[in-house]
Protein backbone atom coordinates (compact mmCIF):
# COMPACT_ATOMS: atom_id res chain seq x y z
CA UNK A 1 0.00 0.00 0.00
CA UNK A 2 2.86 2.38 0.71
CA UNK A 3 4.06 1.68 -2.83
CA UNK A 4 0.78 3.01 -4.28
CA UNK A 5 0.95 6.05 -2.07
CA UNK A 6 4.51 6.89 -3.09
CA UNK A 7 3.64 6.34 -6.78
CA UNK A 8 0.66 8.71 -6.42
CA UNK A 9 2.87 11.14 -4.55
CA UNK A 10 5.49 10.98 -7.32
CA UNK A 11 2.86 11.69 -9.99
CA UNK A 12 1.56 14.66 -8.02
CA UNK A 13 5.10 15.96 -7.60
CA UNK A 14 5.81 15.54 -11.35
CA UNK A 15 2.62 17.40 -12.27
CA UNK A 16 3.43 20.17 -9.78
CA UNK A 17 6.97 20.57 -11.13
CA UNK A 18 5.64 20.59 -14.70
CA UNK A 19 3.14 23.36 -13.84
CA UNK A 20 5.84 25.42 -12.08
CA UNK A 21 8.21 24.96 -15.03
CA UNK A 22 5.45 26.02 -17.48
CA UNK A 23 4.73 29.15 -15.40
CA UNK A 24 8.43 30.05 -15.35
CA UNK A 25 8.77 29.57 -19.12
CA UNK A 26 5.65 31.63 -19.84
CA UNK A 27 6.83 34.38 -17.46
CA UNK A 28 10.27 34.56 -19.06
CA UNK A 29 8.68 34.67 -22.52
CA UNK A 30 6.23 37.41 -21.46
CA UNK A 31 8.97 39.53 -19.85
CA UNK A 32 11.24 39.18 -22.89
CA UNK A 33 8.36 40.18 -25.19
CA UNK A 34 7.57 43.25 -23.06
CA UNK A 35 11.24 44.27 -23.12
CA UNK A 36 11.32 43.83 -26.91
CA UNK A 37 8.20 46.00 -27.26
CA UNK A 38 9.55 48.69 -24.92
CA UNK A 39 12.85 48.58 -26.79
CA UNK A 40 10.97 49.16 -30.06
CA UNK A 41 9.09 52.05 -28.44
CA UNK A 42 12.33 53.91 -27.79
CA UNK A 43 13.14 56.51 -30.37
CA UNK A 44 11.96 59.89 -31.49
CA UNK A 45 8.33 60.84 -31.82
CA UNK A 46 6.35 63.86 -32.94
CA UNK A 47 2.96 65.04 -31.70
CA UNK A 48 -0.28 65.17 -33.65
CA UNK A 49 -3.74 66.02 -32.32
CA UNK A 50 -7.12 64.41 -32.87
CA UNK A 51 -10.47 65.76 -31.63
CA UNK A 52 -13.36 63.40 -30.85
CA UNK A 53 -16.90 63.81 -29.54
CA UNK A 54 -16.65 60.47 -27.67
CA UNK A 55 -13.66 58.40 -26.63
CA UNK A 56 -15.44 55.71 -24.59
CA UNK A 57 -13.01 52.95 -23.59
CA UNK A 58 -9.91 54.70 -24.91
CA UNK A 59 -7.08 55.42 -22.45
CA UNK A 60 -3.76 57.24 -22.30
CA UNK A 61 -1.07 54.81 -23.43
CA UNK A 62 -3.36 53.03 -25.91
CA UNK A 63 -1.95 52.30 -29.33
CA UNK A 64 -2.11 54.36 -32.51
CA UNK A 65 -2.02 52.12 -35.58
CA UNK A 66 -1.70 52.45 -39.33
CA UNK A 67 -2.62 49.42 -41.47
CA UNK A 68 -2.99 47.51 -38.19
CA UNK A 69 0.62 48.12 -37.14
CA UNK A 70 1.54 50.20 -34.08
CA UNK A 71 3.05 53.57 -35.00
CA UNK A 72 2.60 55.45 -31.74
CA UNK A 73 0.47 55.94 -28.66
CA UNK A 74 -1.92 58.33 -26.96
CA UNK A 75 -0.05 60.52 -24.47
CA UNK A 76 -2.63 63.05 -23.23
CA UNK A 77 -6.38 63.61 -23.25
CA UNK A 78 -8.23 66.76 -22.27
CA UNK A 79 -11.48 68.59 -22.97
CA UNK A 80 -11.47 71.52 -25.36
CA UNK A 81 -13.66 74.63 -25.06
CA UNK A 82 -16.55 72.86 -26.83
CA UNK A 83 -16.42 69.77 -24.58
CA UNK A 84 -14.77 67.57 -27.18
CA UNK A 85 -11.89 65.27 -26.28
CA UNK A 86 -8.55 66.52 -27.59
CA UNK A 87 -6.00 63.70 -27.72
CA UNK A 88 -2.27 64.05 -28.21
CA UNK A 89 -0.85 61.25 -30.36
CA UNK A 90 2.87 60.54 -30.35
CA UNK A 91 3.82 59.23 -33.80
CA UNK A 92 7.17 57.63 -34.72
CA UNK A 93 9.56 60.13 -36.24
CA UNK A 94 10.06 59.75 -39.98
CA UNK A 95 6.54 58.46 -40.62
CA UNK A 96 4.77 61.00 -42.82
CA UNK A 97 0.99 61.05 -42.59
CA UNK A 98 -0.96 62.80 -45.40
CA UNK A 99 -2.87 65.85 -44.14
CA UNK A 100 -6.21 64.47 -45.42
CA UNK A 101 -5.91 61.28 -43.34
CA UNK A 102 -8.56 60.29 -40.81
CA UNK A 103 -8.31 58.98 -37.25
CA UNK A 104 -10.94 56.54 -35.96
CA UNK A 105 -11.47 54.91 -32.59
CA UNK A 106 -11.84 51.16 -33.16
CA UNK A 107 -11.63 48.03 -31.03
CA UNK A 108 -9.96 44.62 -31.17
CA UNK A 109 -13.29 42.80 -31.49
CA UNK A 110 -16.50 43.05 -29.50
CA UNK A 111 -14.91 43.10 -26.06
CA UNK A 112 -11.36 44.02 -27.09
CA UNK A 113 -9.36 47.05 -26.10
CA UNK A 114 -9.69 50.24 -28.14
CA UNK A 115 -7.07 52.03 -30.16
CA UNK A 116 -6.81 54.73 -32.82
CA UNK A 117 -6.57 53.57 -36.42
CA UNK A 118 -5.22 56.06 -38.94
CA UNK A 119 -6.53 55.79 -42.50
CA UNK A 120 -4.05 57.56 -44.77
CA UNK A 121 -5.40 60.01 -47.31
CA UNK A 122 -4.07 60.69 -50.79
CA UNK A 123 -2.67 64.19 -50.30
CA UNK A 124 0.92 64.96 -51.12
CA UNK A 125 1.04 67.37 -48.15
CA UNK A 126 1.73 65.93 -44.71
CA UNK A 127 0.70 66.68 -41.15
CA UNK A 128 3.52 68.52 -39.43
CA UNK A 129 4.53 68.45 -35.75
CA UNK A 130 1.55 69.84 -33.79
CA UNK A 131 -0.87 69.27 -36.69
CA UNK A 132 -4.43 68.07 -36.21
CA UNK A 133 -6.53 65.50 -38.04
CA UNK A 134 -9.44 67.15 -39.84
CA UNK A 135 -11.41 63.90 -40.09
CA UNK A 136 -12.14 61.78 -37.03
CA UNK A 137 -14.66 59.09 -36.13
CA UNK A 138 -15.83 58.67 -32.55
CA UNK A 139 -15.92 55.45 -30.59
CA UNK A 140 -18.92 53.21 -31.16
CA UNK A 141 -20.59 52.39 -27.86
CA UNK A 142 -21.67 48.73 -27.86
CA UNK A 143 -24.68 49.37 -25.63
CA UNK A 144 -26.03 51.97 -28.06
CA UNK A 145 -25.48 49.66 -31.01
CA UNK A 146 -27.32 46.80 -29.29
CA UNK A 147 -30.15 49.18 -28.34
CA UNK A 148 -30.48 50.31 -31.97
CA UNK A 149 -30.64 46.70 -33.19
CA UNK A 150 -33.32 45.87 -30.61
CA UNK A 151 -35.34 48.95 -31.60
CA UNK A 152 -35.10 47.98 -35.27
CA UNK A 153 -36.33 44.48 -34.43
CA UNK A 154 -39.24 45.86 -32.40
CA UNK A 155 -40.30 48.21 -35.20
CA UNK A 156 -40.17 45.37 -37.78
CA UNK A 157 -42.22 43.18 -35.46
CA UNK A 158 -44.75 46.00 -35.04
CA UNK A 159 -44.91 46.48 -38.85
CA UNK A 160 -45.61 42.77 -39.38
CA UNK A 161 -48.29 42.83 -36.70
CA UNK A 162 -49.95 45.87 -38.36
CA UNK A 163 -49.82 44.10 -41.76
CA UNK A 164 -51.58 41.04 -40.33
CA UNK A 165 -54.33 43.09 -38.66
CA UNK A 166 -54.94 45.28 -41.70
CA UNK A 167 -54.79 42.46 -44.27
Give the model's pLDDT for residue 144. 73
Instruction: Give the model's confidence band at 31: pLDDT under 50 very low, under 70 low, under 90 confident, else very high.
Output: low
Share of the chain above pLDDT 90, in %: 47
* Backbone torsion region of residue 67, taken as left when φ is above 0, otherwise alpha when ψ lies between -120 and 50, otherwise beta: left
What does residue 115 show for φ and ψ, rounded to 5 degrees? Answer: -155, 175
Give the model's pLDDT for residue 136. 93
Give the model's pLDDT for residue 85. 94
Non-local CB neighbours of 44 within 8 Å, separated by 6+ positions: 92, 93, 94
E runs forming strands in the chain? 45-52, 63-66, 69-79, 85-92, 102-107, 114-119, 135-137
Which residues does residue 106 pair with via DSSP β-bridges, in sequence order?
A: 115
pLDDT, tens digit (0-9, with 9 covering 90-100), for 92-129: 999 999 999 999 999 887 677 889 999 999 999 999 99
C-alpha of 101 from chain center: 19
Burial class (CB in 10 A: 0-12, 13-18, 19+), 22: exposed
Cα(128)–Cα(97) distance, rounded to whole angstroms?
8
Instruction: Give the model's confidence band at 51: pLDDT under 50 very low, under 70 low, under 90 confident, else very high.
Output: very high
pLDDT, tens digit (0-9, with 9 covering 90-100), for 65-82: 999 899 999 999 999 999
Instruction: Give the model's confidence band at 4: pLDDT under 50 very low, under 70 low, under 90 confident, else very high.
Output: low
Instruction: Give the model's confidence band at 6: pLDDT under 50 very low, under 70 low, under 90 confident, else very high.
Output: confident
**Mean per-residue pLDDT over the chain, rounded:** 84
Amino acid sequence: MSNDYSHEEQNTLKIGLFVILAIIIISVFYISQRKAVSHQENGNYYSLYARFGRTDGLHIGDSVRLAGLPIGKITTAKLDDHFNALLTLEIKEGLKIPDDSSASIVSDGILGSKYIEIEPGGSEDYLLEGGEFNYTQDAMVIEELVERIIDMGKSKKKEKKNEKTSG
